[in-house]
Structure 1
Amino acid sequence: MRHARDGATAAMNAASQVLAARGKAEPQEFDNADVQWATRARDGVWAPTRDRQRIHVGIDCPPDRAATVLRPSLRVFVGIDVDTDIVAQTTADGIRLVTVVHGPEAPTSFRFPVGLAEGLALEAMPSGGFDVVNLRYGATVGRFYTPWACDSLFRPLAARWELDGGAIVMRLPHEGAAYPVVADPHYGI
């Protein structure tokens, strides 16, 4: 297993190259007091909804995966699976779980268990994302945007969400890709 600091550096370098190439349309890192990260990947993050409730998003991985905290708004979870790291970023309106796949042995699906406050539900959108809906008012109070992904040659890959019980699963086919591959699951209000 890679050393945590070396792994964090490799994940950050891969993510930075792709995010810089994508430009200013990407959500920027922001120190958002409404977002609370746990120290372990499995315990995830608590993020706000537009109606001032909170959702919980976990990362399905071994229970001992601790964060390498680079700044309060940026952390790296190294080795969440074979050849896979997550660069977790706080944004002004939510979170990003930038998934970095370093090789062909990495999985092609990633589970993010979602805990919703009472009265909230996930609703699939035609775009491929999921809205967090307040059932009482029928209003969208948060959104899991459709994930995008590309390889190190900036070729797009067909990342998509699926709902599996209480988890959103990102499917990331990366066969034949140039590594590292970067995928960007993003939640915001």
Structure 2
Amino acid sequence: MRHARDGAAAAMNAASRILVARGKNEPQELENPDVAWGQRARDGVWVPTKDGQRLHFGIDVAAADTVAQVLRPSLRVFVGVDLDTDIVAQTTDNGVRLLTVIHGPDAPSEFRFAVSLPDGLALESMPSGGYDVVHLRYGATVGRLYNPWASDSMFRQVKADYTLEGTIVTMRVQHADAFYPVVADPHYAR
């Protein structure tokens, strides 16, 4: 078993390399007082919507009681949340990223995020493959879960998509023929 500090460093290194290769248009890590992280993976994160409400993303993983290693207020790493899997969680200026780092072929290919929406909001599937958070009374989009992307260590695209069942958003990553580590990015912004 990897030492937790080594695991955090490996996850950060993998995520950083791929984000740098993707370029400057990626959302940047930034402190955001409107985002509140829980201590454990299952506790997830509370994020704001454009209309001032808050929704919750729980990280539904095998080791849901994994405690975050807080590297700075806007960055934490959940090491070993599943077999060969870590999550690098970033706060951005208008949301969060849950960079899922897959270290090997034995890692799962599905990652679940439990979404709790306030009354009057719903997830609406978009043609892009993401989900808009829609205010039911006004029809306005107040947040967005962007279509996930995934990339392997050779910077090749890896197929990733979402499914929605009830209040669980599942990110599927087809990493079987990839070069590891693979990084997948569920990203929410208001």
Whether TM-score is above 0.5 comes out as: yes
Task: List runs of 5+ in structure 2 lacking aligned partners.
Answer: none
TM-score by length of 1: 0.99
**How far off is 1:2 after superposition?**
1.7
Name the aligned partner's letter for residue 102 of structure 1. H
**How far off is 1:144 after superposition?**
0.2
Superposed, 1:37-48 pairs within 5 Å as: 37-48=37-48
Cα RMSD (Å) of the superposition?
0.6
Q: Contact 2:50/2:143 (CA < 8 Å) preserved in 1?
A: yes
Count of aligned positions: 189
Aligned to 1:8: 8
Name the aligned partner's letter for residue 90 of structure 1. T
TM-score by length of 2: 0.98
Aligned to 1:169: 170
Name the aligned partner's letter for residue 73 of structure 1. S
Name the aligned partner's letter for residue 74 of structure 1. L
Name the aligned partner's letter for residue 126 of structure 2. M
SS of alignment partner, residue 157 of structure 1: coil
SS of alignment partner, residue 43 of structure 1: coil
Distance 2:41 2:79 in 1: 9
Aligned to 1:21: 21
**How far off is 1:70 after superposition?**
0.3
Distance 2:11 2:71 in 1: 12
Aligned to 1:90: 91
Aligned to 1:33: 33
SS of alignment partner, residue 58 of structure 1: strand
**How far off is 1:176 after superposition?**
1.1
Distance 1:63 1:153 in 2: 30
Identity %: 68
Name the aligned partner's letter for residue 4 of structure 1. A
More deviation in 62-71 or 25-34?
Answer: 62-71
Distance 1:142 1:97 in 2: 16
Task: List runs of 5+ in structure 1 lacking aligned partners.
Answer: none
